[in-house]
Structure 1
Amino acid sequence: MREGTAQARWEMWTQRPLLALAVVFAVAYAVPIVDTSAGHSLTTACTVVEWVVWAAFTADYLVRLALAPERREFVRTHWMDLCAVVLPLIQPLRLLRLVSTLLLVGRRARMASQIRVTTYVAGSVVGLLMFGSLAVLSVERESPEGNIRTLGDAVWWSFTTMTTVGYGDHAPTTGLGRVIAVGLMLSGIALLGVVTANIAAWFIERFEKDDVEERAQTEAIRALTEEVRALRAEVAALREPRREVVPALRAGHPPGPPPPPAR
């Protein structure tokens, strides 16, 4: 996508406001879970804020679709964005509002060239830990057989789940909690793969750079060797006429015309 298109300008202008709305969404999602004494009005207000933020990302997707030069190509290459927009509208899947908002935030953040992979991975880890802890706490706290009762338990469980350690001291007992656990496991493995791939790419880049420098030095030495050989040949060619003149003078014979220099 070219930088001068209307779609690119829209994405550049809306990137920071949408990221700020994502922070507002995080606060609205966390308050009713962390503050167990929150009243009905506060909980309702937070829910409204969550839906407003999701609606803002939905509007952003629709505007980008309208500004795209090739709309079919845009839908084909942004199918994850479309799923994140549509799925929360289905009544049984409204709990996916959290997942869809996180997905849309990640997709919009990756469009920014100034955000490096390390920053993106670190932000993904923090976001997954925070939202994973809050999500599992919200569904496991009221479970009769659950053992994740506090935010500290939830954060510890998220750490052990994302790193696939799984000590077993805390584990979800509800179906939705286990679904969240599967998502955290897969996300942790994916992020670990990204970090490993970037470390390997860094080493490969360093090795390739060293090989290029070594090849350049070898070529320079070879060129200097060829130049020295050529100079030696020219010097030897200049000395050959002098060697013929000296014996001729000693015998009393005038020297003949010098041969042309060797090329």
Structure 2
Amino acid sequence: MNIRSDQRADAWERRTAGPLTALAVVFLLAYAVPILHPQLPRTWHDACEAANITIWALFVGDYVVRFLLHVERIRFVRGHLFDLAVLLLPVLRPLRVLRLFTAVLVLTRRTEAWARGRLALYVGATSILLIFVAALAVLDAERANPDANITSYADAVWWACVTITTVGYGDHFPTTTDGKLVAVGLMMGGIGLIGFVTGSLATWIVDRISVKDDDTQDATKSDIAQVLAEVKALREEVAALKQAQVAEPTVQ
């Protein structure tokens, strides 16, 4: 019974992986266009907002379906607490910017499956995605504030790059509550990426050293075996010469 239900959950995730990825891309586009082109007619702004809310609701529905299909539901919730928070918190208007992270989570899951075993590809794609999304979010939060120092997308991208790499020049920084929430999310993402890269790099170095040590040990064993074989051969030759000397008749 449990295995069958787990198979249903896995089948649902496989079937919805492609459509959810496409919806996440549309979600990001609908969010980005009004920010990058604020002069768009009001009708387009409303259409993009409606698309965002609709797709976000579909993401919520996907979470609910996955929750119902899993047998160990408490374990599922515990393993997806961040997903749940990202889906529920945007209900509060001050936290509506967190709707962006629903799309990021969907795309990250897809990227992880697509680039499995390719560290550089996964880290690069995830970093670009986080920078793009964080820049949009912080520009959306900061643009209307008269005290803001992030007023263009170029400034926002520069700030996102500086923040995710933990450099922190301080020439651009968020001044609004929403912008600071975006900064916190980007900092956490940056720390996670750096930890992931550092851990993977350390593992790769250890594996390489282990392989070299194994090769060295194998080579040493081979050399020792060869020397022992040569010593044995020399002993046999010496023994044969002694026997020949003993057997040789004494010359009168």
Partner of 1:23: 25
Tell me how far 1:136 sits from its aligned partner: 1.4
Q: Counterpart amino acid of 1:250?
A: T
Partner of 1:45: 47
Tell me how far 1:32 sits from its aligned partner: 1.4
Aligned in 2, Cα 1:109/1:6: closer, same or farther, shift over 3 Å?
farther
Compare 194-203 and 124-133 and name the one that shifted more: 194-203
Partner of 2:147: 145
Partner of 1:235: 237
Partner of 2:57: 55
1:212 paired residue among 211, 214, 220: 214
Structure-1 separation of matches of 2:242 and 2:149? 100
1:130 paired residue among 129, 132, 145: 132
Cα deviations across residues 206-258 of structure 1 (Å, max 9, x unaligned)?
22222221111101111112222333333344444433322xx4399xxxxxx
Look up the SS of the partner of 2:250 in the other structure: helix
Structure-2 separation of matches of 1:92 and 1:34? 21
Cα deviations across residues 161-180 of structure 1 (Å, max 9, x unaligned)?
33333444333222222222
Q: Counterpart amino acid of 1:163?
A: T
Look up the SS of the partner of 1:56 in the other structure: helix
Q: Which has the higher contact order (CA 8 A, sep 6+)?
A: 2
Contact 2:24 2:106 in 1 (8 A): no
2:36 paired residue among 10, 34, 37: 34
Gaps of 5+ in 1: 253-263
Partner of 2:250: 250
Structure-2 separation of matches of 1:112 and 1:70? 27
Structure-1 separation of matches of 2:35 and 2:54? 19
Partner of 1:177: 179
Gaps of 5+ in 2: none
Total equivalences in the alignment: 248
TM-score (norm 2): 0.81
Instruction: Flag the structure with higher helix content.
Output: 2
Percent sequence identity over aligned pairs: 39
TM-score (norm 1): 0.78
